[in-house]
Amino acid sequence: MPELEPVAVLNPDFSTAGATAPRWSSVAEVLATSEMFWLSTTRRDGRPHVTPLPAVWHDGSLHICTGDKEQKSVNLAAEPRCVLSTGTNTMNAGLDVVLEGTVARITDPATLHELSALWKAKLDWDFAVVDGGFHDGRGGTALVFAIAPEKVLAFSKGEPFSQTRYRFS
C-alpha cells in the first residue's frame, strides 16, 4: 500500500516566527529509523499506561508486537486507540514525533513474514511466524499490530522551533 501524503498545518502559536512545517518525508524518516517508541494506552479503569517498545514503520503504518497477556495488549483489546511517540531527549535539536491512531491486528502470514524480516533487519530480532503472530523463541507468541496514523504531531527543536499537525484523510 503506498504511503499517503498528509495535510500539514503549522501551529504559529507554538512555532518561531518564520518557521515552516517539516516535510512529511522528514517525519516519515524519523518514524522509519527510530528504534524505540513510547506506547500510551488506556487501562480498563481509565488510567493511562505508558511503556517503551520498538516499532517498525512499513506501508504507512507503525507496527508493534506484544504478548497477549501483557498490559499493553490487554489495554489495546479493550481500547484500540493509542499514541506512539519518539524523538530525542534534547531541548534544542532534533525532531520529536507523536502518532495517534487505532490498532489493527495483523494475522496475514505474508505480511507477518514481511514484518519479521523488517524486525530482523532493523533490530536483529529473529521472529518465526506462527499462526496469527510471532514466536519469540522463549515459548511465547507475540500479537502483531499496525497503527495507521490518524494524526501526527511533529516538534522541530532548535531555531526555528515549530509544531506541525499532519492529518490523514
Tell me the per-residue pLDDT of 78-95, one tens digit each, with 9 for 90 and over: 999 999 999 999 999 999
The long-range contacts involving 43-52, CB below 8 angstroms and separated by at least 24 positions, are 43/71, 43/75, 44/74, 44/75, 44/78, 44/79, 49/75
Domains and CATH numbers, the chain: 7-105+143-167 (2.30.110.10)
Place 3 in a pLDDT band, splitting at 50, 70 and 90.
low
User: What mean pLDDT is predicted for residues 147-156?
Assistant: 96
Residue 74: CA atoms inside 13 Å, Cβ hemisphere, count? Answer: 9
Place 8 in a pLDDT band, splitting at 50, 70 and 90.
very high
Over the Cα atoms of the chain, what is R_g? 17
Tell me the per-residue pLDDT of 31-74, one tens digit each, with 9 for 90 and over: 999 999 999 999 999 999 999 999 999 999 999 999 988 999 99
Q: What is the DSSP letter of 88?
A: -
pLDDT, residue 1, reads 46
Place 133 in a pLDDT band, splitting at 50, 70 and 90.
very high
